[in-house]
Amino acid sequence: MRVAIAGAGAVGRSIARELITNGHQVLLIDKDPHSIKPERVPDAEWLLADSCELSSLEEAHLDDCDVVIAATGDDKVNLVTALLAKTEFAVPRTVGRVNHPNNEWLFNEAWGVDVNVSTPRIMSALVEEAVTVGDLVRLFTFRQSNANLVELTLPDDSPYVGKPSGLIPFPENVALVTILRDGQVYPPDGEQPIEAGDELLFVVSADVENELESLLNPDHAPG
């Protein structure tokens, strides 16, 4: 997979290293000459250019990219980069970094953003996950599909403790992605039972989140 990352600062370089480790081809783009440091990520391609300029993105061959990540420290730049990538180069997947929470509402399909990543929201979700059992925690939003990645830690008194996941009558538009237990990842193959304390990860349509939470934990159903 070829991935272009706009913003070669600490965040962009960290993402690039991770993607390269996973076998992907990465291009880092930045208009600041001081940010162009190929020795920091030697296996990446580097381009000194402004990701808000159409000519720069043409030079980067964005039409050959599978994903564009707008990871600069400027929300305006990230929005313009995502919009150009989507509308001018038909990039299949765009990810936008949200620096200021007040701007999060802008990072949607209207601006060409398929997935937005807001550090405050992620940190808040992780805190909630650490202190709540039985409550549904939204971890990630897929803007284009109106679906969310959510987590629920199964409480001891759930009616489905010990039941195979395939026998649980999940609502429509709910997919159990994985079961996390004792540091291990278990695929939800239908026969795998769920146990108290399991962290269950779902992709779920936003309009059935409450129904899912009520199913697995009636005592904590949203009121």
pLDDT, one tens digit per residue, over 11-65 is 899 889 989 988 999 999 999 999 999 999 999 999 999 999 999 999 999 999 9
Contact indicator for 212, 154 with CB cutoff of 8 Å = no
How many Å apart are CA 99 and CA 101, to the nearest integer? 7
Edge-to-edge, what's the strand order for the sheet holding 25-30?
45-48, 25-30, 2-6, 67-70, 93-98, 115-118, 137-142, 147-153, 199-205, 174-181, 184-186
Q: Which pTM value belongs to this model?
A: 0.61
Q: Which of 14-28, 76-90, 117-131 has the lowest mean pLDDT?
A: 117-131
